[in-house]
């Protein structure tokens, strides 16, 4: 074990010992079943009672515990259990008692946007279950769940079916039901209509609600909660948990001075009465719902004593949460966290709780979970700061023995002042470059502010926290909101008193909407979410807006009340956005641990005017600040820095841009930046950014190098002709393959747990290092991290792989595309190939027509085996030949030709009638499936394979999150392959070994054996034709027997990994036996072991290396994929 390994392992031990409400929604891999088992059983027993009920709600449960005993963690476990049992969960963060119902309604809206265990949001899960409950037809079900475009008739039909299933609920809650369906829609405009109604906001544009059957009047928040609960109760029970009561009481009690203590008592009494009334009304208002309140015992005691009604009649108290009851539980709390964190960095500890010695746990009884984790965290941080690994042997007092005490002890290592100066200089330079290149436009767009601004503010506030020295641990940030319509874009919390859980808050909300009603709705929702209340100084809200507010009377009235409550409007200039975007990229690529000392020394957040105005600068005395020269390029507001002018943090004469070195060692060690982790360049016109709107039409740059352009060129030190596949047991040299051999295609047969995904990724990465771009189909969301750096070097890397990974990340542009999802990075292709490009190639022309017939036949209902289908298919083929010879490829124009088939086009009797019928079916398909019609900005396939200037390669990952079923995926892949086929003919690789790579995971669903799909013909055409133009295909499948037999026959390179299904094992052995080898142990292979046959040779066993990009155990959720798709490529 080396000191670097220990340092990496200790650095990975990050503890969230003070979870925020948002942590309730995260998976809980650290849950210890023996801790608070009785309380959890009480809550789940009550939930089961709600499940058995038709519509009534059981008595609520009060979960009580002192600080640090695990109240928030318990709620997270409840959420997980409830969702796994088919129920719904909502967390109400109550900060202002007078806004109880508005807070509850807003929290339910936010909760509906949260994912269930399968990745689908609670809202869409509810709508799907309700559609099943009312027996909705498939077309209606798909429309209301957001799978297809929503229409008014489909919405009316759904509401009518709900009314028939439950007349009272369907009639009284129809407006809320309509709004929920709109809120689930893919269209941002529909989502806004639904969200504004459900948040009790005014209608932005007159008529938008009535167009969907909604009444114009606002519905009160309590009515929205009641309606939503009644609708949810039709399909499943619900848990509504109320949190943050302690915080609200603490902030209110200490809001004024001691001199007016009587008034404080009166205000507190009123506050507690309002809380109690809200909690009791919640149970009465909701149906089939369990109300859970979580707070300190003293707060609950005050609620019971101050409330005029008897709240205890409506809530039962669970057994109080207590301290850690035994040594075994304390040890398990630490073991579970360490196991996950160590595994992420590939570290095997000497014993599970290292460096916490097993003897230390003899003192754990009586600690709260938070106290234990804090004690361990303090020890780990001290080891890192002192440069020495020590075992923690006592929890009650600070002692620790050096690991391996004696001459052989391994210090963790601490960077010298000279090394810090060098590393800070590298970060300074990169930061200046990123500021100059950042694009502020997305953050200033109403369409993208809810996605972009939270990311930017989180980066800026993280940097601000990092500059607070010893106060760092007292500050925390709410996580970036995922999905939905966040009321706030960021919230900074400052812990003031752990006993009462008192906090100070700074909340932020950018408002770019020009329409006055839209702006007012956002202000109201932000005020509620922030808990902004006149007289409560600990809760602050800052609205970020550079444009003037409307001058209308209503706007002036709302803003005046906002200002009286302590709110403030702050300008949000482009200069601030550039710096925030640069910080975001620095954190993403250098890592937070690396940047902590730089944050403390450089104080980059102090340059950002909106943060400086909101937070008042650093909370400490500082010496001389350090200036970083920032050459700002591009046009910007007049307030921006003059291009090329150095920007200084403090007034006074310019300082020399040299790090201000600390006189004492930093508290957290700085990992080496040699070589530095690269940060990709910002997006260029060839890197489409959805936040900037449709990309201008540009001519695709060829994917081979011209002149001094680095695109398509191999990286320095990389063999341009060959790549290593893996280590072969008993051989000194690895198994190698020529890059040009990949033209003759590759097939991978391997099941779950085989390492198939890692092999695919490493193959794509090695090609990118040689300047070869790739298109990667991602059906399982596990390839979208191809642009992510590992947080620490994983196991399975070779000696040079760290440098190799840095080179790969710096030279490769990874872009995520989401066909079918406008909220991501949509992708569309014309359904017909570009016939004009193959008019002079008889074979290519025939292949293009065959592929077009395969595309259109299913939609025209002529893909069957009946006589009518065969006749129709013949007419379709003849019509396509006639139309294609003109060089046109517009599907709508072709349907018009079919509708009035010219004489002489077909030899068959009755052809005009058959053609007219097909024309109507194709027109209907264009209406029902916009993606089939190529709706959206069409993308030239060259865009997918053309890197931005300064990059060697582009990897276009095409996610299927917007294509939920196989027919949609097959139709889209067919369009992609048709477009790709014609493009490569115009842009062959020429003398290059390999022009591009096209990777198809789960290929058996696209080109199966024995069944013809919409993309079978185009897949086989590519398989036979692509090699001569320099495009290599990679097919991966878990089911070799299910893959079309022409594909393995056309693949010169084959891999066989772990398979567990007997029929698939036998199919793989058949393939191997055809090459003179029998892979008898294919069912016993370990992860990463494969049999490989290169260039038609015999199979040999090899161990594949770990991929260069981050590959954790769990794939991304759909929401995470969409978020990455909307992030510019340079932002990952």
Q: What's the gap between Cα 831 and its chain centre?
A: 30
**Do 808 and 915 fall into the same domain?**
no
Return the higher-pLDDT residue of 381 and 21: 381
**Position 210 confidence tier, pLDDT thresholds 50, 70, 90:** confident
Pairwise CA distance, residues 1123 & 455, whole Å? 10
DSSP secondary structure letters along 991-1035: TSS-SEEEEETTGGGTSBSS---TTHHHHHHHHHHGGGGTEEEEE
Q: Which of 1002, 1024, 999 is nearest to 1013 (CA)?
A: 1002
CATH number at residue 1055: 3.40.50.300
DSSP for 213-230? Answer: T--SSPPPHHHHHHHHHH
> In this model, does residue 347 exceed pLDDT 60?
yes
The per-residue pLDDT for 274 is 78
Task: Give the Cα separation of 473 and 450 in Å (integer).
Answer: 28
Residue predicted with more confidence, 259 or 903: 903
Residue 872 sits in the same domain as residue 1006: no
Which of residues 295, 322, 349 is at a domain's end?
322
**Are residues 256 and 191 both part of a single domain?**
no
Q: Which of 168-172, 480-484, 642-646, 775-779 has the lowest mean pLDDT?
A: 642-646
**What's the pLDDT score for residue 507?**
96
Report pLDDT digits (tens) over 955-988.
Answer: 999 999 989 889 889 988 988 998 888 788 878 8
pLDDT exceeds 80 at position 402: no
Burial class (CB in 10 A: 0-12, 13-18, 19+), 254: middle
**Best CA proximity match to 951, nearest among 1132, 710, 708, 772:** 710
Residue 1072, in any domain of the structure: yes
CA distance 85 to 460: 40
CA gap 76, 583 in Å, rounded? 31
Alpha-carbon span 126 to 179, nearest angstrom: 14
Tens-place pLDDT, residues 731-766? 888 999 999 999 999 999 999 999 999 999 999 999
Residues 857 and 996 in one domain: no
At residue 540, does pLDDT exceed 90? yes
Q: Residue 900 pLDDT more than 50?
A: yes
Q: Which domain holds residue 848?
A: 835-928
Residues 971 and 1024 in one domain: yes
Instruction: Provide the pLDDT for residue 20.
Output: 66
289 assigned to some structural domain: yes
- What pLDDT sits at residue 18? 57
pLDDT at 678 over 70: no
What is the SS3 assignment for 623? coil
Query: Helices 867-884 and 911-928 meet at what angle, rounded to 10?
Result: 80
Cα(860)–Cα(585) distance, integer angstroms: 49
Q: Is the pLDDT of residue 1063 over 80?
A: yes
CB neighbour class for 349 (10 Å; exposed up to 12, middle 13-18, buried from 19): middle
pLDDT at 265 (0 to 100) = 57
The domain that contains 56 carries what CATH number?
3.40.50
> 942 and 894, same structural domain?
no
Distance CA 1018, CA 128 (A): 34
For residue 676, being part of any structural domain is answered with no
Q: How far apart are CA 101 and CA 1021, in angstroms?
A: 60
Which residue among 182, 217, 236 closes a domain? 236
The pLDDT tens digits of the residues spanning 452-468 come to 999 999 999 999 998 88
Q: What is the mean pLDDT of residues 410-427?
A: 66
Mean pLDDT of the chain: 82
Mean pLDDT of 720-738: 91
Total domains in the fold of the chain = 6
Identify which of 97, 507, 65 has the alpha carbon closest to the alpha carbon of residue 306: 97
- Give me the pLDDT at residue 591, please: 78
Q: Is residue 693 part of a domain?
A: no
List 813's β-bridge partners, or say none.
954
The percentage of residues in the chain with a pLDDT greater than 70, rounded to a whole number, is 84
pLDDT score of 652 more than 70: no
- Judge whether residue 197 has pLDDT over 90: yes
Nearest C-alpha neighbor of 127 from the set 92, 101, 155: 155
Helix ranges, 96-243 (H): 100-112, 122-133, 138-144, 152-165, 167-172, 174-183, 188-198, 221-233
Give the total residue count for the chain: 1132
Based on the domain organization, do 1032 and 1102 belong to the same domain?
yes
Mean pLDDT of 701-722: 69
Same domain, 205 and 315: no
Q: Are residue 51 and residue 67 in the same domain, yes or no?
A: yes
Same domain, 862 and 779: no
Whole-number pLDDT of residue 252 = 63
* 482 lies in the same domain as 436: yes
- For the purposes of burial, counting CB atoms within 10 Å of the CB of 402, is it exposed (0-12), middle (13-18) or buried (19 or more)? middle
Whether 658 shows a pLDDT value over 70: the answer reads no
In this predicted structure, what is the pLDDT of residue 483? 64
**Residue 637 is encoded by which pair of tokens?**
């507001």
> pLDDT tens, 47-87?
999 999 877 889 999 999 887 788 888 898 999 999 999 99
Residue 42 has pLDDT above 50, yes or no: yes
Structural domain ending residue among the three candidates 205, 236, 267: 236
Is position 647 within any domain? no
- In terms of domains, do 177 and 220 share one? yes
What is the model's pLDDT at position 154?
Answer: 94
Please report whether residue 904 resides in a domain.
Answer: yes
* The pLDDT of residue 621 is above 60: no
Give pLDDT tens digits for 836-874: 777 766 677 787 888 888 888 888 999 888 999 999 999
Window from 140-144, 445-449, 456-460, 814-818 with minimum mean pLDDT: 445-449
Q: Which residues pair with residue 727 across a beta bridge?
A: 1103
pLDDT score of 421 more than 90: no
Residue 672 lies inside a defined structural domain of this protein: no
Q: Is residue 779 part of a domain?
A: yes
Is it the case that residue 603 has pLDDT exceeding 90?
yes
H helix or E strand, kind and range, residue 509: strand 502-510
Q: What is the reported pLDDT for 462? A: 93
């Amino acid at each position: 074990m080396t000191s670097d390994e220990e340092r990496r392992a200790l650095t990975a031990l990050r503890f969230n010992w003070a979870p925020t409400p948002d942590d309730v929604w995260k998976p809980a891999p650290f849950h210890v079943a023996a801790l608070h088992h009785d309380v959890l059983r009480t809550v789940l027993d009550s939930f089961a009672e709600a499940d058995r009920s038709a519509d009534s709600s059981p008595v609520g449960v009060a979960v009580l515990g002192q600080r640090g005993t695990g109240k928030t963690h318990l709620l997270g476990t409840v959420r997980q259990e409830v969702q796994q049992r088919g129920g719904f969960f909502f967390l109400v963060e109550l900060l202002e008692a007078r806004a109880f119902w508005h807070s509850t309604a807003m929290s339910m809206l936010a909760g509906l946007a949260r994912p269930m265990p399968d990745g689908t949001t609670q809202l869409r899960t509810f709508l799907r279950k309700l559609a099943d409950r009312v027996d909705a037809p498939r077309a209606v079900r798909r429309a209301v769940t957001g799978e297809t475009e929503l229409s008014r008739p489909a919405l009316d039909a759904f509401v009518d079916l709900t009314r028939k299933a439950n007349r009272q609920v369907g009639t009284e809650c129809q407006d809320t039901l309509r709004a929920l369906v709109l809120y689930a829609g893919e269209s941002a405009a529909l989502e806004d209509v639904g969200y504004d109604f459900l948040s009790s906001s005014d209608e932005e544009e007159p008529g938008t609600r009535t167009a969907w059957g909604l009444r114009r009047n606002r519905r009160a928040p309590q009515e929205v909660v009641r309606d939503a609960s009644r609708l949810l109760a039709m399909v499943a029970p619900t848990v509504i948990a109320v949190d943050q009561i302690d915080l609200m009481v603490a902030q209110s009690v200490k809001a004024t001075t001691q001199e007016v203590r009587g008034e404080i008592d009166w205000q507190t009494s009123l506050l507690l009465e309002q809380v109690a009334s809200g909690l009791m009304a919640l149970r009465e208002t909701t149906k089939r719902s369990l109300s859970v309140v979580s707070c300190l015992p003293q707060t609950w005691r005050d609620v019971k004593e101050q409330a005029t009604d008897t709240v205890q009649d409506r809530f039962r108290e669970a057994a109080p949460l207590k301290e850690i009851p035994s040594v075994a539980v304390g040890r398990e709390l630490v073991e579970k966290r360490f196991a996950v964190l160590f595994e992420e960095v590939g570290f095997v500890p000497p014993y599970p709780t290292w460096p916490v010695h097993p003897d230390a746990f003899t003192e754990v009884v009586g600690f709260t979970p938070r106290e234990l984790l804090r004690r361990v965290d303090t020890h780990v941080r001290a080891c890192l700061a002192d440069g020495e690994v020590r075992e923690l042997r006592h929890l009650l007092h600070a002692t620790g023995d050096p690991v391996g005490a004696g001459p052989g002890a391994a210090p963790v290592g601490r960077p010298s002042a000279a090394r810090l100066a060098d590393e800070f200089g590298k970060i300074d330079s990169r930061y200046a470059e990123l500021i100059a290149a950042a694009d502020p436009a997305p953050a200033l767009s109403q369409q993208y502010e809810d996605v972009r601004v939270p990311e930017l503010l989180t980066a800026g506030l993280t940097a601000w926290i990092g500059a607070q020295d010893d106060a760092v641990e007292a500050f925390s940030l709410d996580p970036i909101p995922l999905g939905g319509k966040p009321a706030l874009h960021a919230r900074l919390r400052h812990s003031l008193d752990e006993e009462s859980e008192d906090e100070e808050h700074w909340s932020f909300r950018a408002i770019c909407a020009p329409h006055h009603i839209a702006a007012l709705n956002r202000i109201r929702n932000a005020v509620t979410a922030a808990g902004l209340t006149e007289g409560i100084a600990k809760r602050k809200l800052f609205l970020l807006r550079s444009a003037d507010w409307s001058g209308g009377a209503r706007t002036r009235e709302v803003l005046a009340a906002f200002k009286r409550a302590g709110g403030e409007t702050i300008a949000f200039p482009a200069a601030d956005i550039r710096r925030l975007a640069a910080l975001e990229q620095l954190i993403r690529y250098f890592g937070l641990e690396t940047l902590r000392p730089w944050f403390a020394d450089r104080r980059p957040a102090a340059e950002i005017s909106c943060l400086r105005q909101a937070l008042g600068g650093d909370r400490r005395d500082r010496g001389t600040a350090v200036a970083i020269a920032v050459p700002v390029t591009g046009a910007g507001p007049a307030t921006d820095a003059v291009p090329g002018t150095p920007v200084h943090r403090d007034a006074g004469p310019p300082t020399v841009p040299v790090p201000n070195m600390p006189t004492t060692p930093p508290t957290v060690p700085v990992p080496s930046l040699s070589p530095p982790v690269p940060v990709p360049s910002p997006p260029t016109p060839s890197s489409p950014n959805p936040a900037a709107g449709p990309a201008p039409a540009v001519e695709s740059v060829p994917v081979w190098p011209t002149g001094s352009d680095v695109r398509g060129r191999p990286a320095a030190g990389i063999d341009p002709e060959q790549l290593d596949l893996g280590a072969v047991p008993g051989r000194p040299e690895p198994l190698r393959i020529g890059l040009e051999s990949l033209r003759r295609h590759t097939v991978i047969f391997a099941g779950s747990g085989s390492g198939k995904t890692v092999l695919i990724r490493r193959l794509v990465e090695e090609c990118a290092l040689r300047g070869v771009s790739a298109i990667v189909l991602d059906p399982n969301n596990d390839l979208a991290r191809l642009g992510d750096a590992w947080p620490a070097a994983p196991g399975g890397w070779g000696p040079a792989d760290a440098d190799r990974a840095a080179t790969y990340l710096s030279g490769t542009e990874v872009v995520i595309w989401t066909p079918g999802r406008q909220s991501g990075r949509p992708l569309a292709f014309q359904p017909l190939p570009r016939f004009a490009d193959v008019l002079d190639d008889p074979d290519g022309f025939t292949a293009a027509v065959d592929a077009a017939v395969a595309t259109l036949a299913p939609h025209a209902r002529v893909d069957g085996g009946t006589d009518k289908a065969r006749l129709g298919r013949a007419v379709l083929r003849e019509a396509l030949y006639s139309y294609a010879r003109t060089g046109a490829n517009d599907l709508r124009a072709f349907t018009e030709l079919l509708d009035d088939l010219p004489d002489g086009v077909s030899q068959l009797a009755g052809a005009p009638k058959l053609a007219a019928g097909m024309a109507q079916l194709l027109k209907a398909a264009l209406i029902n499936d916009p993606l089939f019609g190529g709706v959206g900005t069409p993308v030239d396939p060259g865009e997918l394979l053309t890197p931005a200037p300064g990059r060697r390669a582009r990897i276009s990952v095409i996610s299927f999150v917007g294509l939920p079923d196989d027919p949609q995926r097959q139709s889209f892949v067919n369009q992609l392959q048709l477009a790709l086929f014609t493009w490569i003919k115009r842009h062959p690789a020429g003398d290059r070994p390999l022009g591009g790579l096209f990777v198809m995971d789960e290929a058996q669903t696209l080109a199966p054996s024995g069944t013809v799909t919409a993309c079978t013909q185009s897949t086989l055409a590519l398989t036979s034709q692509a090699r001569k133009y320099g495009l290599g295909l990679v097919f991966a499948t878990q089911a070799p027997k299910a893959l079309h037999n022409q594909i393995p026959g056309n693949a010169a390179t084959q891999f066989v990994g772990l398979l567990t299904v007997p029929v698939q094992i036998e199919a793989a052995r058949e393939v191997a036996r055809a090459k003179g080898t029998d892979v008898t142990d294919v069912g016993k292979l370990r992860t990463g072991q494969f049999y490989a046959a290169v260039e038609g040779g015999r199979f040999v066993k090899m161990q594949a290396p770990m991929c260069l990009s981050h590959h954790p155990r769990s794939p991304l959720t759909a929401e995470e994929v969409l978020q990455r798709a909307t992030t510019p490529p340079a932002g990952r």
